[in-house]
Amino acid sequence: MRIRITTTFVLAAALSLDAAAANAQGARSTTRIPVSKDAPGEVMPPRVDTVTLTVYRTDTLRVPGPTRVDTVTTTVTRYDTTRVETLPGGLARVGGFYFGLGLGETNAHQSIRSGQTAGFTAQAQIGWQGVTAPLGLRFDANYARFGEEPVTSALAAHPDVLNLSADAKLGLTFLNRMFSYPRFGLYAIGGPTYTRYKALRITQNVNGIETVVTPTDGAWHDKVGFNVGGGAGLGWGRAELFVESRYFAMTPDNASSRASQIPIIIGLNWY
């Protein structure tokens, strides 16, 4: 009888240990778990961590015959390997389509500098910016109304300029790493501009003499030019506060040189 009990006990213990070993063998996991970290610095290489879990398991065996209970305690050690990746701090940014509005001041330069003074400007824009891609697209309409010099105020009405631009917007990621706040960044912007203007005072070279003239027809005139500039954005939630300045350039008919405008705008984008 003792031999039978001992045999049964050994067999049950062997089965229990075999099951525990099988559990240990099947518990190994290599699932990749991405973990994002709002770090503005460089992207760190993936780090592999191994987590060791020790599980204590108690099995109770009841052997036929006289009332007797044997308790077998087994220890199962399981190893889980996780892959921890540090992602760019830019992932904290909000991306996708956005629209924005802005207001500011604009100044006239080169062949339109002498005929008008600084005025106000307003801007509306729509665009797309990826979360991680530094390059985005933007379309904007910029309206400017300049002031008048006293000596040219009688020539015509207030000068008006409308700039329609299709721009590429490039995030300056190599500079953004200097800032600890991941939603603050610098950018460059530029592209072609279609300009409509009316009543602009234009400096012309007539027989070697610089003369300020203005179209007297009161109509809108059209030119194709370009713009280039840059700015900074500070985001929170789904909004972004931006400040930017650009150089708009085109050459009016019969002007002695290129005409340019430099607005400084502050506004908001909503994603």
Q: Which residue has the tokens 């209970």?
A: 69
**Rounded Cα–Cα distance for residues 78 and 25 (Å):** 8
Residue 138's identity, in one-letter code, is R
**Band of residue 41 on the pLDDT scale cut at 50, 70, 90:** very low
Query: 183 with 234: CB under 8 angstroms?
Result: yes
Give the right CATH number for 89-270 from 3.40.30.10, 2.40.160.20, 1.10.3720.10, 1.10.10.10: 2.40.160.20
**Rounded Cα–Cα distance for residues 95 and 169 (Å):** 13
**Band of residue 107 on the pLDDT scale cut at 50, 70, 90:** very high
**Band of residue 108 on the pLDDT scale cut at 50, 70, 90:** very high
pLDDT at 2: 43
Measured CA distances, 214 to 204, 211, 217 (Å):
10, 10, 9
The values of phi and psi at residue 84, to 5°, are -105, 120
User: Which residues, including other chains, have CB under 8 Å from residue 65's CB and lie 6 or more apart?
Assistant: 1, 4, 5
CB neighbour burial string for 219-242, b if at least 16 within 10 angstroms, e if fewer: eeeebebbbebbbbbebeeeebbb
Q: Which of 54-58, 121-125, 191-195, 229-233 has the lowest mean pLDDT?
A: 54-58
Cα-Cα end-to-end distance for the chain = 81
Q: Which of 87-91, 104-108, 218-222, 267-271 has the lowest mean pLDDT?
A: 87-91
Query: 77 with 54: CB under 8 angstroms?
Result: yes
Measured CA distances, 267 to 76, 95, 160, 198, 231 (Å):
62, 18, 21, 26, 11
**Helix, strand, coil shares, percent, the chain, to 5:** 10, 55, 30
pLDDT, mean of residues 47-76: 60
pLDDT at 146: 93
Model confidence at 5: pLDDT above 50: no
Assigned token pair, 36: 């994002």
pLDDT at 97: 96
- CA-CA-CA-CA dihedral for 22, 23, 25, 31, to nearest 10: 150
Spatial CA neighbour of 224 closest among 205, 203, 250 = 250
For 189-203, what is each residue's pLDDT tens digit? 999 999 999 988 888
Query: 185 with 233: CB under 8 angstroms?
Result: yes
For 193-248, what is each residue's pLDDT tens digit? 999 999 888 888 777 777 777 766 778 999 999 999 999 999 989 999 999 999 99
pLDDT at 60: 64
**Rounded Cα–Cα distance for residues 167 and 227 (Å):** 8
Model confidence at 56: pLDDT above 90: no
pTM of the predicted model over 0.85: no
Assigned token pair, 140: 């904007």
pLDDT, mean of residues 46-60: 61
**Rounded Cα–Cα distance for residues 189 and 169 (Å):** 4
Query: 140 with 167: CB under 8 angstroms?
Result: yes
Which residue intervals of the chain bear CATH 2.40.160.20?
A: 89-270
